[in-house]
Amino acid sequence: MQAVIHLIDDDEALRESVAFLLRAADFEVKGFSSAQAFLASLPDASLSCVITDVRMPDMSGIELIRRLKDLKVDIPVIVITGHGDVALAVEAMKLGATDFFEKPFNDDLLLASVRGALQEQAHHTKRHAERAEIEQRLARLSAREKDVLTGLIEGRANKRIAFDLGISPRTVEIYRANLMTKMQADSLSDLVRMALIVEMLGSS
């Protein structure tokens, strides 16, 4: 699927110039003269990346980023600033913007930033899809299988897990074999990796 770059700037000349640059690099571009116009398009938008001016009438780039966070719209935002607006750009970065550029900016650097943002977004999406799949597998484990899994992830040997749970080592081996099958894990390191993915993304 072709990446869609949403370009938001009230300066029509700059918007057309940046749009030309992006289309020449094989991106699909949708231009907006205001943040409100972009937000109005959100329900039907194919989201890939936003490039927005930081200083616009009615709704600034900063306010747009806050609004996207409120709406839980997970999309990389690159901010364009005028001379003397670096403080605003830093504020945008603190709110989650992926990058900022001062006008006039280097075309190649902007394109590199867009590609990097899209690559990071694809990685982020893949990780969350993987997490959802792992959580589905975890949900199929019995309570005892989860107990054994916890012991394995904590690095305990089968005998120690058996002692802690008050069951025989042989029973632990059976639970371990079952959970390896249910989790579709080829090895103990696979199990640890899955647990780390769920743990790392659990709060995001």
Q: pLDDT digit string (tens) for 120-149?
A: 887 777 777 888 899 999 999 999 999 999
Q: What CATH number belongs to 140-201? A: 1.10.10.10
Could you read off the pLDDT of 53-109 as tens digits, one per residue? Answer: 998 988 999 999 999 999 988 889 999 988 777 788 888 888 889 999 988 889 999
Model pLDDT, residue 102: 87
Could you read off the pLDDT of 165-196 as tens digits, one per residue? Answer: 999 999 999 999 999 999 999 888 888 888 88
Residue 170, classified by CB atoms within 10 Å of its CB into exposed (0-12), middle (13-18) or buried (19+), is exposed
**How do the domains of the chain map onto residue ranges?**
4-125, 140-201
Model pLDDT, residue 147: 93
The pairing of beta strand 49-53 with beta strand 28-32 = unpaired
- Indicate the pTM of the whole model: 0.67
The fold of the 4-125 domain, in CATH, is: Rossmann fold (3.40.50)
Q: Provide the edge-to-edge strand list for the sheet that holds 4-8.
A: 28-32, 4-8, 49-53, 77-81, 99-102
φ, ψ for residue 26, nearest 5 deg: 70, 25
Please check the confidence at residue 204 and state whether its pLDDT lies above 50: no
